[in-house]
C-alpha cells in the first residue's frame, strides 16, 4: 500500500502511475490487477485504509480520555494529530491532495464523509462536556463543533504547509512551540464555550 499511497498523495489521481507503483514494489503490472479491477479501485482502497488508520488513532484518544475535561481531550486530539502526521506524512499528504485534486474519484463524497466523521467526533466531546456541565448554557453544539473542527484542521495544515502557517511559527516550530500553540488554541476555544 505504501507505494500507491505515496504515488497518489504526491501526484494526485491523474498523475499517479500504476507502472511506477509496481516498479517500486518489484511486481508485475498484472499482479496488481489480480486484486484491483482498475486504478480507481486501488485508489479507493488506499484511501479507505489510510482513513481507517486515522480513525483508529482518534477512537483511542476518545476512549482513553472519556473522563477528562473538554480542554484536555481537545489538546490530546491535536497533539495526536501532529504526532500522526509526523509518523505518517504520506497519509496526510493524500488528504491534502484530495482537497485540491478535482480528478480524484468520489472526491466530494470522500470529503463529506471525512467532515462528517470529524464533526461527529468533536460533537461527542461537546455532548460529553455538556452532560458534565462544562459548557455555557445554550451552547449550540453543532456550531461549536464546526468552529473547533475548522480551527483544528487549519492548525494541522499549518504544520505541513508553509502558506497555511503564514504569520505563525507553526510550520517550522519545534515540539515546544507546537505544544504552546496547541495549549493556546484550545484555551482560547474553551474560553468561548466553558463556563467562567
- What domains sit in the chain, N to C, each tagged with a CATH number? 47-193 (1.10.357.10)
Is the pLDDT assigned to residue 102 strictly greater than 80?
yes
Residues 24-48, mean pLDDT to the nearest whole number: 87
C-alpha cell of 58?
Answer: 482518534
Is the pLDDT assigned to residue 196 strictly greater than 60?
no
Residues 128-140, mean pLDDT to the nearest whole number: 92
Give the per-residue pLDDT at 136.
Answer: 86
Q: Of all residues in the chain, what percent carry a pLDDT higher than 90?
A: 83
Residues 101-119, mean pLDDT to the nearest whole number: 95
Give the per-residue pLDDT at 193.
Answer: 56
For residue range 71-97, list pLDDT tens digits in order: 999 999 999 999 999 999 999 999 999
Give the per-residue pLDDT at 44.
Answer: 95
- Averaged confidence pLDDT in the chain: 93
Amino acid at each position: 500500500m505504501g507505494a500507491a499511497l505515496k504515488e497518489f498523495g504526491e501526484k494526485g489521481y491523474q498523475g499517479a502511475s500504476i507502472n511506477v507503483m509496481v516498479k517500486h514494489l518489484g511486481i508485475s503490472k498484472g499482479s496488481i490487477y489480480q486484486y484491483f479491477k482498475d486504478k480507481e479501485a486501488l485508489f479507493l482502497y488506499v484511501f479507505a485504509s489510510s482513513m481507517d488508520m486515522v480513525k483508529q488513532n482518534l477512537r483511542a484518544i476518545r476512549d482513553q480520555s472519556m473522563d477528562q475535561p473538554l480542554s484536555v481531550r481537545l489538546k490530546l486530539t491535536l497533539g495526536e494529530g501532529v504526532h500522526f502526521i509526523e509518523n505518517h506524512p504520506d497519509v496526510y499528504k493524500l488528504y491534502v491532495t484530495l482537497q485540491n485534486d478535482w480528478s480524484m474519484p468520489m472526491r466530494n463524497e470522500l470529503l463529506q464523509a471525512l467532515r462528517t466523521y470529524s464533526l461527529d467526533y468533536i460533537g461527542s466531546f461537546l455532548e460529553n462536556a455538556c452532560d458534565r456541565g462544562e459548557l455555557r448554557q445554550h451552547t449550540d453544539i453543532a456550531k461549536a463543533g464546526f468552529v473547533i473542527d475548522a480551527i483544528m484542521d487549519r492548525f494541522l495544515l499549518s504544520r505541513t504547509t508553509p502558506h497555511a502557517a503564514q504569520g505563525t511559527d507553526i510550520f517550522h516550530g519545534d515540539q515546544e512551540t507546537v505544544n504552546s500553540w496547541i495549549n493556546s488554541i484550545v484555551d482560547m476555544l474553551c474560553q468561548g464555550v466553558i463556563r467562567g
